[in-house]
């Protein structure tokens, strides 16, 4: 199966603009024969994190929506038009006040899968609630997929469970935050090179379980490396896919909005 992997700069509170970009990248993926196009976490609503002083939990609660809901209805229509499935990050409204950080997949028939992030990070806890311990795979055509969102990839038990359930392609939507105290370098080039080495853990997962892994990153909003000095994190915008033998199937340059294509 041909999969499109989109690195996206999603802006907080700009849902409609983010969705326009998601659809445009979906059109590009369809032109290249993709059957599934994967976007990072936060791709619909943008990132709501404590180190962004303008992010307010009350605003996110207003921006969140149920699944199914308006966004999944729109993407279902686009999936039908383009002949592919979308996998996007959406703030999901539930019964409690705080939403889930959810990755939802829709095709021409509607919602086929959703996976909530099990454990929000420290910078997310003021905005999102955890998704418990439930993970399930989904099938699309003749492939079985598992979804592991960002920090949840730190638990090998999640990968093992999904593998036992039949998943052979792991989708890992990220907003791959790199802490300044980790000293990743003093330029985008140095940071991207540093982050690429960390991506090798997804290659290791692929080899250990005999699966393909797809790492899909958000793009940092900074134009220059020196911008937003008060932020404690960088996001490198580096995406890649690895095959069961550890080979890199596709990767982008990093720090860019892009579509790359991998055969899995």
Rounded mean pLDDT for each run of 10 residues along the chain, 264 residues in total: 97 97 98 98 96 94 98 98 98 96 98 97 95 96 96 96 98 94 93 92 96 97 91 94 97 97 96
Per the DSSP assignment, residues forming a β-bridge with 139 are: 144
Coil vs helix vs strand at 75: helix
pLDDT at 223: 87
Burial class (CB in 10 A: 0-12, 13-18, 19+), 234: buried
pLDDT at 222: 92
Q: Which positions ≥6 away from 150 have C-beta within 8 Å?
A: 41, 117, 121, 172, 173, 174, 175, 176
The answer to whether the beta carbons of residues 91 and 116 sit under 8 Å apart is: no
pLDDT at 218: 97
Kind plus residue range of the DSSP H or E element containing 204? helix 200-209
**CATH of 2-263 given 3.60.110.10, 1.10.357.10, 3.40.605.10, 3.90.420.10:** 3.60.110.10
Phi first, then psi: give them for residue 129, nearest 5 degrees. Answer: -105, 155
pLDDT at 92: 98
pLDDT at 177: 87
End-to-end CA distance of the chain: 5
DSSP state for residue 124 in the 8-state scheme = T
Reported pTM: 0.97
Report the helix count and the strand count for the chain, using DSSP H and E: 6, 14
């Amino acid at each position: 199966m041909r999969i499109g992997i989109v690195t996206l700069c999603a802006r907080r509170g700009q849902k409609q603009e983010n969705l326009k970009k998601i659809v445009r990248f979906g059109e590009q993926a369809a032109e290249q024969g993709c059957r599934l196009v994967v976007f990072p976490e936060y791709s619909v609503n943008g990132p709501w994190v404590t180190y962004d002083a303008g992010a307010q939990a009350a605003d996110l609660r207003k921006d969140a929506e149920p699944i199914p809901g308006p966004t999944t209805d729109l993407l279902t229509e686009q999936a039908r038009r383009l002949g592919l499935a979308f996998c996007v990050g959406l703030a999901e409204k539930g019964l409690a006040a705080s939403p889930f950080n959810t990755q939802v997949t829709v095709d021409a028939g509607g919602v086929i899968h959703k996976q909530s992030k099990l454990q929000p990070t420290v910078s997310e806890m003021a905005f999102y609630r955890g998704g418990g311990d439930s993970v399930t795979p989904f099938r699309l055509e003749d492939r079985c997929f598992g979804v592991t969102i960002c920090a949840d990839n730190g638990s090998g038990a999640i990968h093992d469970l999904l593998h036992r359930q039949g998943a052979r392609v792991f989708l890992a939507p990220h907003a791959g935050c790199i802490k300044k105290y980790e000293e990743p370098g003093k330029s985008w080039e140095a940071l991207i090179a540093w982050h690429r080495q960390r991506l090798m853990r997804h290659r290791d997962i692929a080899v250990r379980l005999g699966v393909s892994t797809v790492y899909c990153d958000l793009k940092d909003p900074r134009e220059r490396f020196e911008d937003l000095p008060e932020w404690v994190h960088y996001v490198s915008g580096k995406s890649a896919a690895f095959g069961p033998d550890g080979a890199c199937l596709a990767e982008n340059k990093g720090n860019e909005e892009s579509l790359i294509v991998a055969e899995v």
